[in-house]
Structure 1
Amino acid sequence: MDAVIDFLNNIFWGYVLVYGLLAVGVFFTLRLGFVQVRCFPEMIRAVTGSKEGDSSGITPFQALCTSLASRVGTGNLAGVAVALYLGGPGAIFWMWMVAAVGMATAFAESTLAQLYKIRDDEGRYRGGPAFYIAKGLGAPWAGVIFSACLILSFGLVFNAVQANSIADSFEGAFGLPKIGTGIVLAALAGIIIFGGIRTIARVAEVLVPFMAVAYILVALYALIVNITEIPAMLGLIVRSAFGLEEAVGGVTGGMMAALMNGVRRGLFSNEAGMGSAPNIAAVATPDPHHPVSQGLVQSLGVFIDTLVICTATALLILLSGTLVPGSEVTGTQLTQAAVTHHIGSFGSTFIAIAIFFFAFTSIIGNYAYAENAMTFLGLGHRGPLTVLRIAVLLMVVWGAYETVATVFNAADASMGLMATINLIAIVLLSGIVVRLTKDYVAKRKAGQVPRFLASEMPELAGQIDQKIWSRR
Structure 2
Amino acid sequence: MGSLIETWVGTINGYLWGSVLVYLLSACGIWFTLRLKGLQFRHFGHMFGLLKGSRASSSEGISSFQALCTTVAARVGTGNLMGVAVAITLGGAGAVFWMWLIALLGMATAYAESTLGQLYKEKDEFGNFRGGPAYYMRKGLNSKFLAVGFSLCLFFGYGFVFSSVQANSITDAFNGSYGIEPLTTGIVITILAGLVIFGGLRNIARFAELAVPFMGVAYILVVSYVLLLNASALPDIFMQIVRSAIGLQEAGGGLVGAAIVHGVKRGLYSNEAGMGSAPNAAAAAVPFPNHPASQGYVQMFAVFFDTIVICSCTAFLILLADDTSAQGIQLTQQALVQQVGAWGSDFVTFAIMLFAFTSIVANYAYADNNLKYLGLDHKWGHLLLKVGFLAMLIFGSQASLGQVIALADMSTGLMTLFNVTALFLLSKVLIAISKNYHEQLKQGRLPQYQASEQEEQSFNLTKNIWR
Instruction: Name the TM-score class by shorter chain.
Output: over 0.9
Task: Give how far 1:378 is off.
Answer: 3.6
* Gap change, CA 1:433 and 1:457, over 3 Å in 2: farther
Residue 171 (structure 1) aligned with residue 175 (structure 2): yes
Corresponding position: 1:398 with 2:398: no
* CA-to-aligned-CA distance 1:329-370 (integer Å, 9 cap, x gap): 211010010111111000111011000000000000000000
Match of 1:432 among 429, 436, 457: 429
Change (3 A) 1:240 1:462: closer
| Uncovered stretches (5+) of structure 1, i.e. residues with no partner | none
Contact 1:83 1:262 in 2 (8 A): yes
SS of equivalent to 1:244: coil
Q: Which amino acid aligns with 1:28?
A: F
Q: 1:90 to 1:99 in 2, by over 3 A?
A: same
Q: Contact 1:66–1:204 at 8 Å: present in 2 too?
A: yes
Partner of 2:443 in structure 1? 446
The one-letter amino acid paired with 1:294 is Q
Out of 3, 6, 12, the position equivalent to 2:10 is: 6
Is it true that 1:16 corresponds to 2:20 in the alignment? yes
1:217-251 deviation per Cα after TM superposition (whole angstroms, max 9, x unaligned): 11111110001111111111100001111468xxx
Q: Distance in 1 between matches of 2:453 and 2:119?
A: 13
**1:369 equivalenced with 2:373 (yes/no):** no
Question: 3-state DSSP class of the match of 1:254?
Answer: helix
User: Superposition pairs for residues 100-249 of structure 1, below 5 Å?
Assistant: 100-246=104-250
Distance 1:257 1:94 in 2: 10
Q: Which residue of 2 aligns with 1:96?
A: 100
TM-score normalised by L of structure 2: 0.97
The answer (yes or no) to whether the contact 2:56–2:64 under 8 Å persists in 1 is: no
Count, aligned residues: 463
Deviations 1:405-457 (A, max 9, x none): 11110000000000011001001101111111111111011011101111176
Which runs of 5 or more residues in structure 2 are unaligned?
A: none
Query: Does 94-103 or 376-385 show the bigger shift?
Result: 376-385
The offset of 1:28, in angstroms, is 0.3
Paired residues of 1:246 and 1:254 also in contact (CA < 8 A): no
**Residue pair 1:48, 1:61 contacting (<8 A) in 2 also:** no
Taking the TM superposition and a 5 Å limit, the aligned residue runs for 1:308-347 are: 308-322=309-323, 324=324, 327=325, 329-347=326-344
Hey, which bits of structure 1, 4+ residues long, moved more than 6 A?
none
Q: TM-score, normalised by structure 1?
A: 0.96
Please tell me whether the aligned partners of residues 61 and 205 of structure 1 are also in contact (alpha carbons under 8 angstroms).
yes
**Contact 1:240–1:247, Cα closer than 8 Å, also in 2:** no
Q: Corresponding residue for 2:50?
A: 46
| Amino acid in structure 2 at the alignment position of 1:230 | L
Measured against aligned partners, the alpha-carbon deviations of 1:242-294 in whole angstroms (never above 9, x if no partner) come to: 1111468xxx9521111111000000000000000011010001011100010
- Match status 1:299 vs 2:300: yes
Q: CA RMSD in A?
A: 1.4
Cα displacement string for residues 110-166 of structure 1 (whole angstroms, at most 9, x for unaligned residues): 000000011011111111101101111111111101001001001110001000000
| Number of the residue aligned with 2:352 | 355
Q: Tell me how far apart the structure 2 counterparts of residues 253 and 462 of structure 1 sit (CA, whole Å).
A: 49
Task: Quote the offset at 1:381 in angstroms.
Answer: 2.2
Letter matched to residue 370 of structure 1: A
Identity of aligned residues (%): 51
Q: Is the 8 A contact 1:60 1:294 kept in 2?
A: yes
Whether contact under 8 Å (1:126, 1:375) holds in the other structure is no
Q: Which amino acid aligns with 2:434?
A: T
Q: 2:167–2:397: 8 Å Cα contact kept in structure 1?
A: yes
